[in-house]
Structure 1
Amino acid sequence: MGMHHYTAEATAVDSSVGVSRRYAWIVFALTFGLLISDYMSRQVLNAVFPLLKAEWALTDSQLGWLSGIVALMVGLLTLPLSFLADRFGRIKSLAFMAVLWSLATLGCALAESYHHMFAARFLVGVGEAAYGSVGIAVVMAAFPREMRATLASAFMAGGMCGSFLGMALGGVLAEHFGWRWAFAGMAIFGLVLAILYPIVVKEKKINPTGQAYNTEQKPLKVKNALKTLYTSKTVVATYIGSGLQLFVAGAIIVWMPSYLNRYYAMPTDKAGILAALIVLGGAVGTIICGMLCDRLGRERADRKTSLAITFCLGSCLLLSLAFALPAGTLQLILLCLGIFIVIGTNGPSTAMVANLTHTSVHSSAFATLTIANNLLGMALGPLVIGKISDHVGLHDAFQLMPLMSILSAAVFFYAKRHYHHDLQRLTEQGLLPPTATQQQKLDA
């Protein structure tokens, strides 16, 4: 496939024109690396839950808040900070974010009490708030439109890989050197990448044509472009459906090391490594799901939503079967299969949002998606499961968790029913450029 091969879905605007393939992949690698740092700093906490619980006599609800406060701040701040990044420069903004979350993670290593740790985690959330949305906007600006679901899935896989490394390395460092060094190691890695990023990645090289978000050359006024964020039923439903599915994934990522520690009697390092391997399977799965989404959705974009529905219901079935079983090999196998597709909805969700929003506000569009993913998913999931766990135990809490995927599938079904109507309406209003198929009809 050539760098600028267009599908029936492609629009007249392609911000990747003029960006070399080699430089585009360098940008992807460095942005991907910072995303890994983001999630290493976020998820290393999960590996040391058993140690913090014992040292500070914490409840599962308190532990859930240490995790949830990061996702909560991401949800609350991602839209305004992404909007500022669109206006004042995405590359400088990304580097600043990385420095902030790395220094805050270092603060976690120095925490002397639960309240100190909570304050440091609060700052981690502030630093990470807009990274996902702005980072994916930078990456998508360097690649052609036909690769959106694949890129989005690969980007989400970066989060999963960061979770893998954070939990695995964090568990090993905590077991051998103490939990403080687990946080310190993540902080050092992030600071090194944060310094390197703006040296290599340049704003002008990412957007040589000025089509994506140059404020002087945008084809629409900002006010009109912003309308595409919320006037489409498909986009709003996609925000909600994606967030509800992340409820399941977020709870599993946060609580899996503790689950293995309690029900499989694993020490911190082994529980962290095995949980990380399970999450890594999810990273591989989300990339494959994204590639499948791009392949099957070339001619019919609404198929992407059909795949999202399939991933929701499939993960619900597999995880429900897994947690209906006692601890053992069969449970772990089914758990791995469920995790493999549980975040398969990310590629279709991001692609659908990108297709139905104007390129000049893509950071804000992905920020809105991030808000839903964090408030409905990554924050709410760990908090609710932690609260239920305090009353009935973590295993029983996990048995209820997969049911959220059924609600997510229903919302995606609603989005699928409105996709074609929304696309046509936004195109007729001039808020979106015509697709290649629509342009051919106009030319005829």
Structure 2
Amino acid sequence: MAGAASTIRKPVEADGVRIGAGAWYAIAVLTGVSFFNYMDRMVLAVLLEPIKAELGLSDGQLGLLSGLAFAAFYATLGIPLARLADRSSRVRLLAACLALWSVMTAVTGLARSFGQLFLARVGVGVGEAGCVPAAHSLIGDYLPPARRALGISIFQAGGLAGLSAGLVVTGLLADHFGWRAALCIVGLMGVPLALLIFTTLREPPRRGHVAEAAVEPAAQAIAALLRRPALRHLVLALSIGAFGTYGLTQWLPAFFIRIHGLTLTQIGLFSGTVSGVGGILGVMLGGWLGMRLIPRDPRWELWLPAIAYGGSAPLYAAVFLAPSPWIAIGIKLFATFLAASGGGVALSAIQSFAEPHRRATAISLTLFLSSLLGLGLGPWLVGEASDALAPTFGKESLRYALLMSTVALVWAGLHFFLSARRALRDRVA
């Protein structure tokens, strides 16, 4: 693997060197990590209604479980784990983190109270905190810069497939065996992949000069990154966009069950399939467009997500206003496709504004804010808004709470455009 990675230090377009099979194997394995990352993160979404019924929880408490319980530690530990990834073995860190969050997802199925559920979700967040910074940093070294957006998009496609499979598999398991068994089975599925990573994946040589990472304090690295306006706006765009998308994604299954009367199996099968197909096709199209357009003008790595996020807002609004579940699911296909087409490109753009020894730190900084706003506050505030509107609108309150969250997607698009205005001056990679 290391040998394969060492042969791709220049962009393919520059020297004609082919990307080795070892590098593509690594991308495939990392895509599998992304699959379980999203699957275990979002598995609770399809189970909110049966958990609420058994434990007597409010929508606000469900929002805390699906959001802040996970996001608080996911965000807080992301930066120190990213600094560890910048200084030590990213492969070993990734294997350990995958094993931890897989086991804690299974433990969630054993919880008997809100407090126990909360602590189990915290454990999932601790494990997943080390995933994305280490994986993105590895992809940046396995592939040349010109192919980076494609590699990140493939990685994101794995996550969207995991989200889709999580909804489908969890819905079926929960209907037949109950929500507890569903969590235990889904959680333990990731453990074999952790062993595969530890035993077969090789640490690639880092591109550029990275000796600075051993001596540069985290605060100094973060301060240097935040002095770049393009990166600041990019971080804000991704964070505000996450606020909208995670709030929508976590509550969509409950919306279809509560408003349209679908079963767990139906929502898992239909909504999960639509999310997977639309998301994967969208993120792969975005990666392909990025590979074609970014070499012509690097600002396309910001213009593409600006168009995607802003354009998806009215489509998501139409999902919540549709008169039937089947029309809503059909519109959701296009909304997911458009939003996903900008996701992988936007995440890959982070590395354009960070030196090699600050790459994982820049990614974790983005995840810190996007996790607090998106994973943490997004689902929780949707739940709180639904509770607040319930005396007036009854079960329809969730519909209007979700409609309000679509505004965040337009706001995110604005920051992508603002980032593009400074992109040429602030790029370092």
> Which has the larger displacement, 224-233 or 30-39?
224-233
Q: What is aligned with 1:27?
A: 26
2:274 equivalent to 1:278: yes
Q: What is aligned with 1:233?
A: 229
1:322-361 counterparts in 2 under 5 A? 322-361=319-358
CA contact (8 A) 2:286 2:344 kept: yes
Q: C-alpha separation between the residues in 1 aligned to 2:249 and 2:376?
A: 12
Q: What is aligned with 2:392?
A: none
Q: What is aligned with 1:421?
A: 425
Quote the offset at 1:373 in angstroms: 2.4
Quote the offset at 1:297 in angstroms: 1.4
2:86 equivalent to 1:82: no
CA contact (8 A) 1:213 1:361 kept: no
Quote the offset at 1:3 in angstroms: 6.3
Q: Which amino acid aligns with 1:413?
A: F
2:173 equivalent to 1:173: yes
Q: C-alpha separation between the residues in 1 aligned to 2:209 and 2:314?
A: 42
Quote the offset at 1:4 in angstroms: 7.0
Quote the offset at 1:318 in angstroms: 1.5
3-state SS in 2 of match to 1:301? coil
Listed one character per residue, the Cα deviations across residues 339-386 of structure 1 (whole Å, up to 9, x for unaligned) are: 112233323322322112101221111111222321222222111111
1:354-393 counterparts in 2 under 5 A? 354-392=351-389, 393=397
User: Residues 97, 166 of structure 1: CA spacing in aligned structure 2 closer, same or farther, 3 A cutoff?
Assistant: same
CA contact (8 A) 2:73 2:122 kept: yes
Q: Normalising to structure 2: TM-score of the pair?
A: 0.89
CA contact (8 A) 1:315 1:405 kept: yes
CA contact (8 A) 1:98 1:128 kept: yes
2:300 counterpart (282, 286, 303): 303
Q: C-alpha separation between the residues in 1 aligned to 2:368 and 2:172?
A: 32
3-state SS in 2 of match to 1:112? coil
1:37-436 counterparts in 2 under 5 A? 37-68=36-67, 69-203=69-203, 206-207=204-205, 210-211=206-207, 215=211, 222=216, 228-280=224-276, 281-392=278-389, 393-423=397-427, 432=428
Q: C-alpha separation between the residues in 1 aligned to 2:342 and 2:388?
A: 31
Q: Which amino acid aligns with 1:420?
A: L
3-state SS in 2 of match to 1:266? coil
Q: Normalising to structure 1: TM-score of the pair?
A: 0.86
Quote the offset at 1:47 in angstroms: 1.5
User: Residues 144, 261 of structure 1: CA spacing in aligned structure 2 closer, same or farther, 3 A cutoff?
Assistant: same
Q: C-alpha separation between the residues in 2 aligned to 1:287 and 1:381?
A: 26
CA contact (8 A) 1:225 1:358 kept: no
Structure 2 unaligned regions, length at least 5: 1-6, 390-396
Q: C-alpha separation between the residues in 1 aligned to 2:308 and 2:296?
A: 20
Number of matched residues? Answer: 411
Q: Which amino acid aligns with 2:337?
A: F
Q: Which amino acid aligns with 1:274?
A: F
Quote the offset at 1:252 in angstroms: 2.2
User: Residues 311, 6 of structure 1: CA spacing in aligned structure 2 closer, same or farther, 3 A cutoff?
Assistant: same
Q: C-alpha separation between the residues in 2 aligned to 1:212 and 1:43?
A: 36
Q: C-alpha separation between the residues in 1 aligned to 2:89 and 2:228?
A: 27
Q: C-alpha separation between the residues in 1 aligned to 2:194 and 2:113?
A: 28
More helix by share: 2
CA contact (8 A) 2:304 2:345 kept: yes
Structure 1 unaligned regions, length at least 5: 424-431, 434-444
Q: Which amino acid aligns with 1:396?
A: Y
Q: Which amino acid aligns with 1:34?
A: V
CA contact (8 A) 2:319 2:331 kept: yes
CA contact (8 A) 1:245 1:342 kept: no
3-state SS in 1 of match to 2:387? helix
Q: What is aligned with 2:4?
A: none
CA contact (8 A) 2:29 2:197 kept: yes
User: Residues 299, 147 of structure 1: CA spacing in aligned structure 2 closer, same or farther, 3 A cutoff?
Assistant: same
CA contact (8 A) 1:50 1:268 kept: no
RMSD (CA atoms): 2.4
CA contact (8 A) 1:242 1:345 kept: no
